Structure 1
Amino acid sequence: MTDTQTLLENRPPSVATLFLERVAATPDAEAYRHPVPSESGGGPDAWQSLSWAQASTRVFAIAAGLMDLGVRPEERVAIAANTSVDWILADLAVLCAGAATTTVYPSTNADETAFILADSGSRVLFAEDAGQLAKAREQRAQLPELAHVVVFDPAGATDAEGDGWVLSLSDLEKRGAAYLEQHPDTVTGAIAAVTKEQLATLIYTSGTTGRPKGVRLSHDAWSYMARAIQAIGLLDENDVQYLWLPLAHVFGKVLTAAHIAVGHITVVDGRVDKIVENLPVVRPTYMAAVPRIFEKVYNGVAARAREGGPTKYKIFLWAAGVAREYAEATQNSMRLTGVPTAPLRLRTQHAIADRLVYAKLREAFGGRLRACVSGSAALPTQIGYFFAGAGIHILEGYGLTESSAASFVNPEAYRTGTVGKAFPGLEVRIAEDGEIMLRGPSIMLGYHGLPEKTAEVLEPDGWFHTGDIGELSADGFLTITDRKKDLIKTSTGKYISPTAIEGQFKAVCPYVSNVLVIGGGRNFCTALLALDEPAILGWAAENELGDRSYADLVAGPEVRALMDDYLRRVNEGAQRWQQIREFRILPRDLDIEHGDLTPSLKLKRPAVEREFAPLIEEMYMGAVEV
């Protein structure tokens, strides 16, 4: 039996058991590092650490506190908060109490928060602050099962009702510590009683249409994921992981399970606006992110090069081209010969470009970054090749909420443009229509309270329909070609992958933030373009248009002409039916607040098409195929 088989087949029934094993193995090792904002609010943050033993003391106290509140096995406990150490400890406490965590994005409005709390039947809510508490308080009459709200921020834990409905996290921990004095074995007993089939987590899909569905994930799903990530060697105990992804999303959640199995340091700070500032301080060796972050970094680097003048910008464009060519050459060489080599000319150019450009980029990431994992959406291939050539290795992966986040990931010898190989212990097949199907321990139990919806995607023999179209290479690398439901068919009968065209546009245009390709039932394709405000304002300043507002710029002929040029470049490499014949620039960027993007930054196509329907109709008005 291989080491991988041993790890997987001998996995414990739950992450709670893994946590006990980790604490016993390395009690004094640093587990978590987190920021403590300065009291003045103006100075740099201080950083505090928790050892595994210290973390377990808090986890046990919170778990015992929940049990003292009456929480029983498999009952739901919700968390509505940004990524923080408190989020992780609360989640672990829920698992150690034998209960199940319901995740809620802190950006979710009061109505949908109430829907999730009611649909899940959550008994307790961990709320980040007064703002999250207010959402529950506003809907309390519709939430008869919600017995308590525990607030992380003590200043926000106001018990206005005076009935003990609200308490602070510190109060819960004190209550739990007292409970443990009376019942010292209560938490370890609860962990021992957990079975692998028990519900561990209820994650509501952010949903591009309609109400979200609750995805039921078992304790075994997380234990399997933790051991599988450990087995493939994606991380080791010497790594320093920077974790900022939303933990309400399955991508962030799986990283917490893997961390426990591997035992490395995780630096936790969910403030997205602090990423650039934190990187040189944290100096991570490993980080996971969504593609939009890498797109923003690329656009930011390009913008700073432009600000440095024509010569500096020309050097950047040359270096970017060299990076892409070098990455593609070495990856192809690795695939064909097993050795990553490039022609002498290219190696020489790459060495020069490294001194001029790439080394500075790596320093901006802290100088120690061994690998990044990208998931949740497709990474534009040309951006992936740029970072690969610059020595920032982005290992693209693939998975869904229904498969506990990670089903495929690229190995160390990665291939940009693919999502890598299947995790050990996971079965994969491609259906006749190209749909990717999965079966294994990470697949969901089903949708909460929705047996008919479950039956639509989960076969009786365990095969899960992902809804994604893909191709497997002979050696097992998966390429995602599109989302099954997002494929569009023109009125001329041609099928088009909008995400592929959108990715190409993002790769060539450093000013675009979001692209929506339209063409279903039409006789040609069009696009809505949302621009990155800082990038386009920087371009305007360089072109004597700095006195104009963003709204004036995007409505003006100069920016229209700029986008026209990039569109021509995209169309040059496309088939006739894939070419974008018309476009409109949106008056604002797309965002979560307007309902254009999900909390994981995926495009809500129907919502955007509804809001900007007049612009779409304008593009097709009186138009004919040319």
Structure 2
Amino acid sequence: MTDTQTLIENRPPSVATLFLERVDATPDAEAYRMPVPPASGEGPDEWRSLTWGQAATRVNAIAAGLMDLGVRPEERVAIAANTSVDWILADLGVLCAGAATTTVYPSTNAEETAFILADSDSRVLIAEDAGQLAKARERRADLPDLAHVVVIDPAGATDADGDGWVLSLADLEKRGAAYLEQHPAAVTDAVAALTKDQLATLIYTSGTTGRPKGVRLPHDAWAYMARAIQAVGLLDENDVQYLWLPLAHVFGKVLTAGHITIGHVTAVDGRVDKIIENLPVVRPTYMAAVPRIFEKVYNGVAAKAREGGGAKYKIFQWAAQVARDYAKAAQNSMRLTGAPTVPLPLRSKHAVADRLVYGKLREAFGGRLRACVSGSAALAPEIGYFFAGAGIHILEGYGLTESSAASFVNPGESYRTGTVGKALPGLEVRIAEDGEILLRGPGIMQGYHGLPEKTAEVLEPDGWFHTGDVGELSPDGFLKITDRKKDLIKTSGGKYIAPAEVEGQFKAVCPFVSNVLVIGGGRNFCSALLALDEPALLGWAGDNGLAGRPYAELVGTAEVRELVEGYVRELNEGLQRWQQIRQFRILPRDLDVEHGDLTPSLKLKRPVVEREFAPLIDEMYEGAREA
């Protein structure tokens, strides 16, 4: 048996067990860093640390406090809060009490929050603030099983009914400390009693179509993920991770499991608008993100170069192409010879470009970043190659809520842009006759909560899970995702098209695009709805005699239409005739979570966008001739 097999097969039954083991092994080591805003409200945040031992004190108190409230094994405790150290400690407290966490995005409206709380039978809600409390209070009559709401930030969060329904997280921890004085072994006994098949987490799918479904993930799924991440060897105890991803999403949640088993430092701040500010302060060696973050950075760098004048922008364009060429050459030689060999002339160009462009880009990420993992959606390969050539290595991965997030990830130095890497150890993969990716392993869900028929549609009795994604496996095990099976479109001419592939190519070509939706199912040609990146567009407008105009006005101008049309022509030059975009419309606003166009993990809700902008789509096909 290999060391990897031993590590995975001898895993404990739960992450709660791994947490207690970590605390025993390194109680005084730094576990978390968190930002604390200045008392004056002005100036930079102060970053404070928490050791594993200090974290354990709070986790034990939260766990015991929940027991004191009457929470029993496998009963659900919901968390509706932004990413923070408090979120992680609350989750660990739930797990160490033997209960199960229901995750709720803080952006979820009151109606859907109530649906999730009711569907999951959650007994307690841990809410971030008065705003999250208000959602539960509004629907309290519909939530008879919700016994308490615990508020992390109690400012303005009153127990209006005077019946003890609302208490602060600090109060819960005080109750827990008192409970532990009476029952000192309560938490360790609860963790020892956990079995691998007990429910640990109920994560509701983002709901790109219809009502979200509760995905049941047992303790063993997280213990397996923790050990598999450790076995891959991308991280060690000396790393510093920057964690900003939503912890209500499975991608963010799995990172907490890997962190516990490896024991490195994690700096936690869920404020997306603080990422650029935080990176040079935290100076992480590792970060996970979604493609939209890298696209925004790329667009921002291009816009800044453009603002510097024609010469500076030409240097950027040249350096960007050198980066792509360099990355492709290095990856090709690594695949063929096992070493990243690059021809001398290209190395010389790269050295110049590094001094002019890439070094500054790396400094913006903190200067120590060894690798980023990108997941949740496809990263445009040309953007991936750009960052790779600039020395910011983006390792694409793949997984679903139903597979506990991490199923595939690119290996360190031998990663291949445009693929999602190799299967994690312990996972089986099979490609069905129609190209669908099937998975089987310890990370696969138990099923959808209370939905046996929906479960049977995707999970076979022998454990094979139908992902709904289409892909190809290379002979040496690298997986390339083609598209979502349900998102493949067929034109009226009988040609199949993967919209995500065309959309990704356009994002690489056009530095002004924010979101793009390719349409063509049952139509005689392809069209696209385009949303532009507002900061990039406003910067361009200032240089082209259109300064001062708002986004909604700019996108209706002939100048912007002509600008975008040039990029569409460039895109079409690299596409097959039936893939080409024959018509497009620029949307009057960007797509976002608030309008329901994107999921909280920034995935496009295609049916929603198509419904909302149906008049624009109809307009593109009015009187259309056959292709």
User: Is 2:423 aligned against 1:422?
Assistant: yes
Matches for 1:266-277 after TM superposition, within 5 Å: 266-277=266-277
Q: Which residue of 1 aligns with 2:513?
A: 512
User: Is contact 1:59-1:93 (8 Å) kept?
Assistant: yes
1:154-173 → structure 2 map (5 Å cutoff): 154-173=154-173
Residue 176 (structure 2) pairs with residue 182 (structure 1): no
Aligned mates of 1:550, 1:103 — CA distance in 2:
35
Note the C-alpha offset of 1:154. Answer: 2.3
Give the secondary structure class of the aligned counterpart of 2:555: helix
* Paired AA for residue 495 in structure 2: K
Distance 1:392 1:508 in 2: 20
Aligned counterparts of 1:279 and 1:550: Cα–Cα separation in 2: 29
In structure 2, distance between residues paired with 1:196 and 1:171: 31
Task: Provide the rounded CA distance (Å) in 1 between the counterparts of 2:337 and 2:207.
Answer: 43
Aligned ranges for residues 3-402 of structure 1 at < 5 Å?
3-402=3-402
Query: How many angstroms does 1:188 deviate by?
Result: 0.4
Q: Which runs of 5+ in 2 are unaligned?
A: none
SS in 2 for 1:527: strand
Partner of 2:437: 436
CA distance in 1 between counterparts of 2:71 and 2:161 reads: 21
Distance 1:342 1:265 in 2: 35
Measured in 1, the distance between the counterparts of 2:35 and 2:464 equals 43
The Cα offsets for residues 224-278 of structure 1, whole Å up to 9 and x where unpaired, read as: 0000000110210000000000000000000000000000000000011100000
Give the partner amino acid of 2:112.
E
Deviation at 1:344, TM superposition (A): 1.0
Q: Distance in 2 between the 1:537 and 1:623 partners?
A: 33
| Secondary structure of the structure 2 residue equivalent to 1:89 | helix
User: Which one-letter code corresponds to 1:149 in the other structure?
Assistant: V
User: Over residues 497-535 of structure 1, what are the superposed CA-to-partner deviations in whole Å (9 max), with x where a residue is unaligned?
Assistant: 000000011001000000000000101000000001110
- Amino acid corresponding to residue 414 of structure 1 in structure 2: Y
Q: What's the CA shift for 1:25? A: 0.4
Runs of 4 or more above 4 Å deviation? none
The residue correspondences of 1:539-618 to structure 2 (distance < 5 A) are 539-618=540-619
Query: Quick one: distance in 2 between partners of 1:523 and 1:40?
Result: 61
Instruction: Quote how far apart the aligned CAs of 1:609 are.
Output: 0.3
Counterpart of 2:451 in structure 1 is: 450
Partner amino acid, structure 1, of 2:218: S
SS of 1:471 mapped into structure 2: strand
C-alpha contact 1:280 1:367 (8 A) present in aligned 2: yes
* d(CA) in 2 for partners of 1:283, 1:502: 32
Aligned 8 A contact 2:534 2:551 in 1 = yes
Contact 1:36 1:48 in 2 (8 A): yes
Cα drift, residue 490 of structure 1: 0.7
Q: Is the 8 A contact 1:150 1:157 kept in 2?
A: no
Alpha-carbon shift at residue 617 of structure 1 (Å): 0.2
Once the two structures are TM-superposed, the CA of residue 550 in structure 1 deviates from its matched residue by 1.2
Match of 1:405 in 2: 405
Aligned-pair CA distance for 1:292:
0.1
- Alignment partners' CA distance in 1, 2:370 and 2:50: 24
1:18-76 superposed Cα distances (whole Å, 9 cap, x missing partner) = 00100000000000010111111111111111100000000000000000000000000
Contact 2:220 2:442 in 1 (8 A): yes
The structural deviation recorded for 1:114 is: 0.2
Aligned partners of 1:203, 1:551: CA distance in 2, in Å? 37
* Cα contact 2:241–2:286 (8 A) shared by 1: yes
SS in 2 for 1:369: coil
Q: Give deviations 1:369-390, integer Å, cap 9, x for gaps.
A: 0100000000000000000000
Structure 1 Cα separation of the partners of residues 155 and 130 of structure 2: 8
User: 1:85-110: CA deviations, max 9, x gaps?
Assistant: 00000000000000000000000000
Q: Is the 8 A contact 2:4 2:231 kept in 1?
A: yes
Could you give the per-residue CA deviations for residues 291-334 of structure 1, whole angstroms, max 9, x where no partner exists? Answer: 00000000000000011111111100000000000000000000
Measure the CA separation in 2 of the matches of 1:20 and 1:591. 40
Instruction: Please list every run of 5 or more consecutive structure 1 residues that lacks an aligned counterpart in the other structure.
Output: none
CA distance in 2, matches of 1:505, 1:417: 15
In 1, the alpha carbon distance for the partners of 2:550 and 2:92 equals 48
Counterparts of 1:448 and 1:41, CA distance in 2: 44
Please tell me whether the aligned partners of residues 239 and 264 of structure 1 are also in contact (alpha carbons under 8 angstroms).
yes
Question: Quick one: percent identity of the two aligned structures?
Answer: 85
Q: Deviations over 1:431-450 (max 9, x none)?
A: 00000000000000000000
Tell whether the 8 Å contact from 2:216 to 2:449 is kept in structure 1 after alignment. Answer: yes
Shift of 1:552: 1.4
Instruction: Give the whole-Å Cα distance in 2 for the aligned partners of 1:15 and 1:382.
Output: 38
Equivalence for 1:498: 499
Measure how far apart 1:625 and its partner are.
Answer: 2.6
| Greater shift in the superposed pair: 534-543 or 153-162 | 153-162
Quick one: distance in 2 between partners of 1:204 and 1:516? 25
Residue 342 of structure 1: how far off its partner (Å): 1.1
Distance in 1, Cα, partners of 2:20 & 2:595: 43
Return the letter of the residue paired with 2:478.
F
Alpha-carbon contact 2:130-2:154 (below 8 Å) kept: no
Q: Report if aligned partners of 1:333, 1:339 keep a CA contact under 8 Å in 2.
A: yes
Q: String of CA shifts for 1:565-586, please: whole Å, max 9, x gaps.
A: 0000111111111011000000
